[in-house]
Amino acid sequence: MRPFLYEKAADAAEAVHFFAQRAQAKYLGGGTNLVDLMRENIERPEIVIDVTGLSREIRDVDDGGLVIDAGTKNTTVASHRTVRERYPVLAQAILAGASAQIRNMATVGGNLMQRTRCYYFYDDAARCNKRERGKGCDAIEGFNRIHAILGASSHCVATHPSDMCVALAALDAIVYLEGPQGARHLRLVDLHRLPGDTPDIETELRAGELITAVEIPALPFAIRSTYRKVRDRSSYAFALVSVAAALDVDDKGNVRDVRLALGGVAHKPWRATAAEQALRGAPASEENFRRAAEAELKDAVGLAGNAFKIELAKRVIVNTLQKLAMESGAGS
């Protein structure tokens, strides 16, 4: 690890001010990803700005939604009564990630900003366009079991590792930012980028911007939501495929509304808009769930080691929606 300066910010404005003092700066939340990357000499900040002193509140908003400050620990979010009752998919997604020790340290803002767990990204002897643009991507012809089947490019096939972000994508979450040019907000589904030919640029954040909070809009039918994660072992493993889903079925057994997002399949949390569109107004049946899954995965492209993910993703979508439909009394 290289030497670096350290500053602890009292508030978001001071954090942004510190960031502007050096060309290479990083915000430090729980440090569960950044510190690892610094040890591996992948991240080389000149200054680290500690933002752990920023607000950690979880509060209701007037329309029935919820605001979670970026400094809130993942464990706190998962155990919060309102989250568990109104948005069980979010609590389940957080509990499916990492270990209890890491969840106790990791913050909401840090979770959103964590970088890929691609083996080649962490290996400085390998070619990686995400680590250094133009070097090539050894994952494409290498060991790519965990890699992307949607939205990838010839420059990068890495996946976003977060479970929490998949749930937030399904819930239409909004991310609040503070930066040198003032405050603004983005939809979470617009925060992360697909790789294209610039996989080293991972988000739409501007220089020096800090995530300050996440808002989850009111979504009454999210009380019937769930998170399903398929992985190689039962704990401390990243998703091969995950599904965050919320389903609203009317008295006639038709899908009134639905939210779906996928993890482990793309460079960003993947909102399954094609599947959602195919399901709205259709009977909540296994046949229609399969048709929706086929629509979402029609452009998926597998590599030598991960082509199995295409069918796996379809089956996990169908299984997850069937479970929710049966809980509503509409499954078949």
- 129-142 pLDDT, tens digit per residue, is 999 999 999 999 99
Structure confidence at residue 296 (pLDDT): 98
- pLDDT in the model for residue 331: 56
The matching CATH number, chosen from 3.30.540.10, 3.30.360.10, 3.30.390.50, 3.40.50.10680, for 222-327 is 3.30.390.50
Domain positions in the chain are: 5-52, 222-327
* DSSP sequence for 144-173: -TTS-SSS-BTTB------SHHHHHHHTT-
Per DSSP, helices labelled H in the chain are 12-19, 34-39, 74-79, 81-86, 88-95, 100-105, 108-113, 119-122, 164-170, 188-191, 273-279, 286-297, 308-327
Distance, in Å, from the CA atom of 220 to the CA atom of 210, rounded to the nearest integer, reads 30
Q: Are 118 and 128 in contact (CB under 8 A)?
A: yes
CB 73 within 8 A of CB 97: no
Average pLDDT score over residue span 101-118: 96
> Token pair of 96, please?
């499916």
pLDDT for position 23: 87
Q: So what's the pLDDT on residue 216?
A: 98
Q: What tokens appear for 102 in the block?
A: 């890491």
Residue 243 has pLDDT above 90, yes or no: yes
Q: Which of 290, 245, 234, 238 is nearest to 264 (CA)?
A: 238
Output the CA torsion sign for 111, 115, 120, 122: negative
| pLDDT surpasses 90 at 117 | yes
pLDDT the model gives residue 200: 96
Q: What CATH code is assigned to 5-52?
A: 3.30.43.10
41: which 2 tokens? 């000499």
3-state secondary structure of 101: helix
Percent of the chain topping pLDDT 70: 99
Mean pLDDT of the 219-231 span: 97
pLDDT at site 332: 52
- The DSSP secondary structure of 31-82, one letter per residue, reads -TTHHHHHHTTS---SEEEE-TTS---EEE-TTS-EEEETT-BHHHHHH-HH
Residue pair 247/285 in contact (Cβ under 8 Å)? The answer is no
The string of pLDDT tens digits covering residues 20-42 is 999 899 999 999 999 999 999 99
Q: Per the structure block, which two tokens stand in for 228?
A: 């399903």
Q: Where does the pLDDT of residue 262 fall: very low under 50, low under 70, confident under 90, or very high at 90 and above?
A: very high
Query: To which H or E segment does residue 174 belong?
Result: strand 174-179
pLDDT tens digits, residue range 276-314? Answer: 999 999 999 999 999 999 999 999 999 999 999 999 999
Q: What is the pLDDT of residue 96?
A: 96
Residue 221 DSSP class: G
pLDDT at 80: 98
The angle subtended at Cα 66 by Cα 274 and Cα 104, nearest 5°, is 95
Name the token pair of 193: 């980028």
How many of the other CB atoms lie within 10 Å of CB of 134? 9
Task: With a cut of 70, say whether residue 63 has pLDDT above it.
Answer: yes
Q: What is the pLDDT of residues 67-106, one digit of tens each?
A: 999 999 999 999 999 999 999 999 999 999 988 999 999 9
Query: How far is residue 49's CA from residue 178's CA, in Å, rounded to a whole number?
Result: 14
- The identity of residue 173, as a single letter, is A
The per-residue pLDDT for range 142-164, each reduced to its tens digit, is 999 999 999 999 999 999 999 99
Contact in structure between 192 and 267 (CB atoms under 8 Å)? yes
Tell me what the pLDDT averaged over the chain comes to. Answer: 96
pLDDT at res. 235: 81
User: For residue 328, is pLDDT > 90?
Assistant: no
